[in-house]
Chains A and B, each alone.
Chain A
Amino acid sequence: MPLPPRVLPPLRRESPMSGLDRRNLGPLQVFAQSISAAAPSAAMAAAPAVAAAAAGSGVLWSFVVATVLALLIGLGIGQFTRRMAAAGSLYSLTAKGLGAVAAFACGCALLVGYGLLTTAALTGSGVYLQDLLGRAGIEVGWGLVAGIVLVLGALATVCVLRGVRLSAQVVLVTEAVSITLMLVVFGLLLVRVGPDLAPAAPDRGVAGIAAGVLPALGAFIGFEAAASFGVEARRPFRTVPRAVQGTAALCGVLYLVAAYTQVVGLGRLPGGLAGQPEPVSTLAALQRLPWLSYLLDLGIAASFFACALATGSALVRVLLSMGREGVLPAALGRTHPRYRTPHVAILVALPLATLLPVVLVATGTSTSSAFVTLLNAAVFGYLVAYLLVCVAAPVFLHRIGELTRGALAAAAITAPALLAALVVFTLDNLGGPYPALFGAFVLAGLAWLGWLRARRPAQLARIGIYDETSEADLLGGER
């Protein structure tokens, strides 16, 4: 069959994402961003107990299901990241499948998710350092915690500002230290606890396992952070999808080890794992290794700091994309000529994320309850964004003529599961400040959308910029 003669579509001379430090991050650095944003060290210590409250000893199966779900979400994200390199993460990806309005919703959800997770991570780092000082016998008032958060926030702002390679390096080292500490802690506990097959038998059946999936899935949020480094990764189409999938798999394994250790180790205590406010510390004390708690606190605080850096970096890249599209003020789309980072977005977003927990603590909210509230609200944003991108994936593949049965099947499993998780999560949190908080987010988003429709319809339609192929990328098309 003779093919019609082809005309090369006009190409840009310069990528719309120029100004960022293009193609400069190695695979390990990209991987570290995703791992850090998922903050597995913190989740290893806290998530199993939360999930066990719903799932009982079936909590291991809850984590297995959550890992499979995370891998499927990663598959959906990978359909995009193997084909386009974006800085706007799931926001820019959703645009290519579902169009501007859905992408806008995803963008709002991401701003909530990334913004509040950055804030929560800074708070978490402060909380665990406070714990560490408390264990050492130093009484810590709210002033000192606020001070710690401010210092950490300033440090994070400087790192993110001074170049993506520097912050990636800090993230890589911090997270490596943190995971090593956690492996030491859990390794020692596991040796003491010994093998026991009992937890394989769930005591609350399938319903219990299902109820535990949502908190288990919450432990994975942030694992897609590599998707916002597409422009800066050296080989984005290879590294980014691998980083996202690799993070889901690695976190899954870490969580299973952590959950197993805690279920077995605390099984004899009244209430089991679910009854423990500080499960790992209790377990450490039970095994006569109280000094492990220091390592634990340090590891978690470091992990949260890396999480704030990685999530903050992802947040400002979403703001950068929105600034360049005209959805947000154009100033946010600027990049620093020397550091090649979105400096305006960084100087707006990161100080805000640092001040929010300080204000919350100063107004009398306890640090730990501020942390939990922020984290839960962030999970809401993430779930919405994951749902949208998973629905967008098969539509996108169909649009470019590359839909396969496998991709369709993955979306058919993931999307309903995420929708169910979202509904359950919303119903679960009908008490407390959440309905008002979520309502406020939705109203703000709708108002913003209405304004864009009325005043900037062209910019709204342009949503979804990414690092397009430019003339210089083509063979023989150099300049």
Chain B
Amino acid sequence: MSPETPLSGRQPKAVRSALAVLEEVVAAGPGVTAKEISAALKLPPATTYRLLNLLVGEEYLVRLPDLRGFALGRRAGRLATPVAVRPPAAARAIVEHLRQRVRWGVHLASYAAGRLTLIDPDPDHPPSDAALLARYPHVSALGKLLLADQPDWRAIVRELRSFTGRTIVEADHLGAELAEVARTGLARQCGELQERRGCLAVAIRDVVSGELVAGLAVSGPAERVAEPNGELVALVRDHAGQLAPLLA
């Protein structure tokens, strides 16, 4: 319904004003009203209201329940790349222990700010490109854990891009799989990113709040990942359990 129009001469000003509005909401804190923003930025009220509604429509901002006040929405979190924090030595030791027990690659990822960041990739079995994993969460087991935890995973997935014949590109199919992942806390991908590679990942949750904080994955040959792997899953879950109190 929205025709693509070329950027006109006036629009850079509008973009600048929209960014100023975002900054003002951050500076003033949650609950700031449209009138206050308009006064602080010396913008005409009608322009301010229009920009605010635009930013709310795009979900960078949310209206608080009184409908007057604004706060940053979850989507605004995507404007900043989270700093990858090196996990504490005790956590790295646990990951290393798992590496010695299995012959597959073992990777630890953080989900800070709703984004997948590898914080302890296996040096001997390097994982796929970190930027690729962050960009297309639907093709990795670690990404599926993140998606399954979202109230609306569609808001995060920009494109269901196909990498191999096995990549899930159908939204309803992916939705059903994510519901299963949410139920079991275990995600799998078998040759969905690279034909011959697959991985298994289990969720690591905050021991108090239950919030998803990290994921522990093992990667290996696709056909082997597809097997039930009862013992392996139990082993990974055990290590994930030990990591939980160290990462939250």
Q: Interface readout for B206-231 with A: 1 if CB under 8 Å, 0 if not?
A: 00011100000000000000000000
Chain A interface residue count, Cβ-Cβ cutoff 8 angstroms: 40
With a CB–CB cut-off of 8 A, which chain B residues contact A469? Answer: 62-65, 71
B55 (CB) vs chain A CBs: closest residue: A237
User: How far is it, in angstroms, between the C-alpha of A479 and the C-alpha of B149 when the chains are bound?
Assistant: 11
3 pairs of A and B residues whose beta carbons are closest in the complex: A238-B57, A237-B57, A475-B72
Which chain A residue lies CB-closest to B66? A9
Q: A199 at interface (Cβ–Cβ under 8 A)? A: no
Say what secondary structure dominates the interface of chain B.
mixed
Residue of B67, B69, B74, B151 near A475 (CB, 8 A) is B74
**Per-residue 0/1 for B16-44: is the Cβ within 8 Å of any A Cβ (1 yes, 0 no)?**
00000000000011111111100110000
Whole-angstrom distance between the Cβ of B36 and the nearest chain A Cβ: 7
| Interface pair B69/A9, CB less than 8 Å apart | yes
Interface presence of B83 (CB below 8 A):
no
User: Of the 9-residue stretches B45-53, B134-142, B158-166, B183-191, which lies at the interface with chain A?
Assistant: B45-53
Q: Is A55 part of the contact surface with B, judged by Cβ < 8 Å?
A: no
Q: Report yes or no: A82 in contact with B32, Cβ–Cβ below 8 A.
A: no
Known: A234-B154, A401-B34, A469-B63. A6 touches B68 (CB 8 A): no
Tell which of A6, A23, A404 touches B32, judged by Cβ atoms closer than 8 Å: A6
Contact of B35 among A5, A401, A479 (CB under 8 A): A401
Q: For the complex, what is the distance from the CA of A469 to the CA of B65, rounded to whole Å?
A: 6
* A162: interface (CB < 8 Å): no
Chain B residues in 8 Å Cβ range of A234: 152, 154-155
Please indicate the chain B residues that have their CB under 8 angstroms from the CB of A406 in the complex: 46
Is the beta-carbon distance between B74 and A404 smaller than 8 angstroms?
no
Query: In whole Å, how far is B158's beta carbon from the nearest beta carbon of chain A?
Result: 13
**Which of A5, A31, A84 meets B63, CB within 8 Å?**
A84
The distance in angstroms between the C-alpha atoms of A402 and B68, with both chains bound, is: 8
Chain A to chain B contacts (Cβ below 8 Å), 24 pairs: A3-B40, A5-B29, A6-B28, A6-B32, A7-B31, A8-B64, A9-B64, A9-B66, A9-B69, A11-B65, A12-B65, A23-B151, A24-B154, A31-B1, A82-B53, A82-B56, A83-B63, A399-B68, A400-B67, A402-B49, A474-B71, A474-B74, A475-B71, A479-B210
**Known contacts A84-B63, A235-B59, A237-B57; A6/B29 CB under 8 A:** yes
- State the total of A-B contacts with C-beta under 8 angstroms: 111
User: How near does chain B come to A417, taking the closest CB pair, in angstroms?
Assistant: 24
Interface residues of B in 53-98 (CB under 8 A from A): 53, 56-59, 62-69, 71-74, 76-77
The residues of A that contact B76 with a CB separation of less than 8 Å are 475
Which of the listed residues A5, A6, A27, A478 has the most CB atoms from chain B within 10 Å of its own CB?
A478
Interchain CB contact (< 8 A) of B65 among A5, A23, A468: A468
Q: How far is the CB of A229 from chain B (nearest CB, A)?
A: 15
Report the separation of the CA atoms of residues A38 and B149 in the bound assembly, to the nearest whole angstrom.
Answer: 39
Which residues of the partner chain A approach B155 to less than 8 Å between Cβ atoms? Answer: 23, 234
Contacts of B53 in A (CB 8 A): 82-83, 237
Of residues 426 to 479 in A, which have CB atoms within 8 Å of B's CB atoms? 468-469, 472-476, 478-479
Chain B nearest CB from A125 CB (Å) reads 28
Chain B residue nearest to A397 in the complex (CB): B49
Q: Which residues of chain A have C-beta atoms less than 8 A from B45's C-beta? A: 402, 404
B1 contacts which of A22, A242, A475 (Cβ < 8 Å)?
Answer: A242
Q: Are B57 and A474 in contact (CB under 8 A)?
A: no
Q: Are A3 and B32 in contact (CB under 8 A)?
A: yes
- Tell me, in angstroms, the Cα distance from A11 to B71 when the chains sit together: 12
CB of A86 to closest CB in B, whole Å: 11
What CA separation (Å) do A6 and B29 show in the bound complex? Answer: 7
Within 8 A of B (CB), among A340-358: none
A96 to B67, CA, bound (A): 9
A79 to B64 CA separation, bound complex (whole angstroms)? 16
Determine the distance from Cα of A27 to Cα of B154 in the docked complex, in whole angstroms.
14
Contact with B along A47-82 (1 / 0, CB 8 A): 000000000000000000000000000000000001
Query: Does A246 count as interface, using CB distance less than 8 angstroms?
Result: yes
Give which listed residue, B36, B57, B67, contacts A84 with CB less than 8 A: B67
> Could you say which residues of chain B place their CB within 8 Å of the CB of A474?
30, 62, 71-74
Question: A208 to B39, alpha carbons, bound, how many Å?
Answer: 49
Q: Is the CB of B151 within 8 A of A22?
A: yes
| Given A8-B30, A82-B56, A400-B68, A472 contacting B151 (CB threshold 8 A) | yes
Determine the distance from Cα of A342 to Cα of B212 in the docked complex, in whole angstroms: 31
Q: Name which residue of chain B comes closest to A475, CB basis.
A: B72
Q: Which residue of B lies closest to A474 (CB)?
A: B71
Taking CB atoms, residues of chain A closer than 8 Å to B151 are 22-23, 472
Give bound CA distance, A404 to B74, whole Å. 29
Cβ-defined partner of A6 (8 Å) among B31, B40, B59, B209: B31
Q: How far is the CA of A246 from the CA of B1 in the complex (A)?
A: 8
A54 to B69 CA separation, bound complex (whole angstroms) = 49
Query: Which residues of B lie under 8 Å from residue A8 when comparing CB positions?
Result: 29-31, 64, 71
Could you tell me the distance in whole angstroms from the C-beta of B31 to the nearest C-beta in chain A?
Answer: 4
Contact A6 B46 (CB under 8 A): no
Contacts of A96 in B (CB 8 A): 67
Q: How far is the CA of A415 from the CA of B34 in the complex (A)?
A: 26
The answer on a CB contact under 8 Å between A23 and B29 is no
Residues on the B chain within 8 Å of A5, using CB: 29
By the criterion CB–CB under 8 Å, are A27 and B1 in contact? yes
User: Interface centre among B35, B53, B73, by most A CB within 10 Å?
Assistant: B53
**A479 to chain B: which residues have CB within 8 Å?**
209-211
Q: How far does the alpha carbon of A235 sit from the alpha carbon of B64 in the complex, in Å? A: 17
- Which chain A residues lie closer than 8 Å to B33 at the CB level? 400-401
Taking CB atoms, residues of chain B closer than 8 Å to A473 are 62, 73-74
Scan A2-40; emit 1 where CB is below 8 A from any B CB, else 0.
010111110110000000001110010001000000000
Using Cβ atoms and an 8 Å threshold, which residues of chain B touch A246?
1
List 7 other contacts, CB 8 Å, given A3-B36, A23-B155, A237-B57: A3-B28, A8-B64, A24-B152, A400-B33, A400-B66, A404-B49, A469-B64
- Name which residue of chain B comes closest to A26, CB basis: B154
Evaluate contact between B67 and A9: CB separation under 8 angstroms.
no
Shortest distance in angstroms between A321's beta carbon and chain B's nearest beta carbon? 16
Give the residues in chain A near B152, CB-CB below 8 Å: 22-24, 234
